[in-house]
Chain A
Amino acid sequence: MAEVEETLKRIQSQKGVQGIIIVNSEGIPIKTTLDNSSTVQYAGLIHQLVMKARSTVRDIDPQNDLTFLRVRSKKNEIMIAPDKDYFLIVIQNPSD
Chain B
Amino acid sequence: VLALVSARSCPKPIKGEKKKRWPVPLLGELCDSSGVWISTVGRMEIVHVYTKLRSEFGRQCLLSDRPAELLVDVPPDPSLALQFIQKTPRDQALQACRDMSEHQVNTERFESDSCGINHVEGGWPKDVNPQEVEQTIRFRKKVEKDESYINSILQLGSVMEHCIRQNNAVDIYQVYFEEEEEVEEAPDAPSAKTINVFRDPNEVKRTVTGLSWHPDGGRKLAAAYSCLEFQKTSKDMSLDSYIWDIENPNRPEMTLKPASSLICLDYNPKDPHTLVGGCYNGQIAYWDTRRGSQPVEVSSVEQSHRDPVYKIIWLQSKTGTDTFSASTDGQVLWWDVRRLSEPTERLVLDLSREGNLDRALGAISLEFESTMPTKFMVGTEQGVVVSCNRKAKTPAEKIVCTYDSHHGPVYALQRNPFFPKNFLTVGDWTARIWSEDIKESSIMWTRYQMSYLTDACWSPVRPSVFFTVKMDGVLDVWDILFKQNEPTLSLKVCDEALYSLRVQDNGRLVACGSQQGGATLLEISSGLSTLQKNEKSLLAAMFERETKREKILEARQRELRLKERSRSEQSREEDVGREDGEDSPDQLISRAQKDFYSVVETELRRRRDREDQENRVRTH
Binding site for B on A (CB under 8 A): 1, 3-4, 7-8, 10-11, 14-17, 22, 24, 26-28, 30-31, 40-41, 44-45, 67-68, 70, 72, 77, 79, 81, 83-88, 90, 92, 94-95
Contact = CB atoms under 8 A, between A and B. Distances in A.
A81 B143 contact: no
A40 B161 contact: no
Given A31-B140, A85-B152, A77 B167 contact: yes
Contact of B121 (A15, A40, A84, A95): A40
B153 A7 contact: yes
Interface of B: 119, 121-124, 139-140, 143-145, 148-150, 152-161, 163-165, 167-168, 171, 173
A11 B157 contact: yes
Contact of A81 (B119, B122, B149, B159): B159
B161 A11 contact: yes
Contact of B156 (A10, A81, A95): A81
Contacts of A11: 157, 160-161, 164
A92 to B, nearest CB: 6
Given A11-B164, A95-B171, 6 more contacts: A10-B161, A30-B144, A84-B152, A85-B149, A92-B164, A94-B167
B145 A1 contact: yes
A68 to B, nearest CB: 7
A1 B150 contact: yes
A41 B118 CA distance: 10
B160 A88 contact: yes
Contacts of A22: 153
A28 B145 CA distance: 16
A14 to B, nearest CB: 5
Contacts of B124: 26, 28
B144 A4 contact: yes
A4 B150 contact: yes
Contacts of A1: 144-145, 150
Given A3-B150, A30-B140, A68 B119 contact: no
Contacts of B168: 14-16, 94
Contacts of B140: 30-31
Q: At the interface, is chain B mostly helix, strand, loop or mixed?
A: helix
A83 to B, nearest CB: 4
A86 B156 contact: yes
A4 B150 CA distance: 6
B156 A83 contact: yes
Given A1-B144, A79-B164, A94 B171 contact: yes
Contacts of A41: 119
Nearest to A93: B167
A68 B159 contact: yes
B154 A3 contact: yes
B149 A86 contact: yes
Q: Which of A7, A70, A79 has the most CB of B within 10 A?
A: A7
Nearest to A16: B168
20 contacts: A4-B144, A4-B153, A7-B154, A11-B157, A11-B161, A14-B164, A24-B123, A24-B143, A26-B123, A28-B139, A30-B149, A41-B119, A44-B119, A44-B121, A68-B159, A79-B163, A81-B160, A86-B149, A88-B153, A88-B157
Contacts of A83: 152, 155-156
A81 B144 CA distance: 18
B134 to A, nearest CB: 15
A39 to B, nearest CB: 9
Contacts of A15: 168
Contacts of B139: 28
Given A1-B150, A4-B153, A83-B155, A92 B167 contact: yes
Given A31-B144, A40-B119, A4 B154 contact: yes
Contacts of B148: 85
Contacts of A79: 160, 163-164
A8 B161 CA distance: 10
A41 B121 CA distance: 9
Given A1-B144, A26-B123, A86 B164 contact: no
A45 B160 CA distance: 20
Contacts of A27: 122-123
Contacts of A77: 167
Contacts of B122: 26-27, 44
A20 to B, nearest CB: 9
A3 to B, nearest CB: 6
A95 B167 CA distance: 9
A40 B121 CA distance: 6
Nearest to B141: A30
* Interface pairs A-B: 9 shortest CB-CB: A26-B123, A44-B119, A7-B157, A81-B156, A88-B156, A27-B123, A94-B167, A83-B152, A14-B164
Q: Which of B119, B121, B154, B160 has the most CB of A within 10 A?
A: B160
A81 B155 CA distance: 9
Contacts of A86: 149, 152-153, 156
A52 B157 CA distance: 22
A30 B143 contact: yes
Contacts of A16: 164, 167-168
Nearest to A28: B123
Given A4-B144, A94-B168, A87 B121 contact: no
A17 B168 CA distance: 10
A14 B119 contact: no
A8 B157 contact: yes
Contacts of A87: 156
Nearest to A87: B156
A85 B143 CA distance: 11
Contacts of B155: 83
A95 to B, nearest CB: 6
Nearest to B130: A28
B574 to A, nearest CB: 87
Q: Which of A16, A77, A81, A84 has the most CB of B within 10 A?
A: A81
Contact of A17 (B143, B149, B164): B164
A45 B157 contact: no
A41 B49 CA distance: 80
A8 B168 CA distance: 18
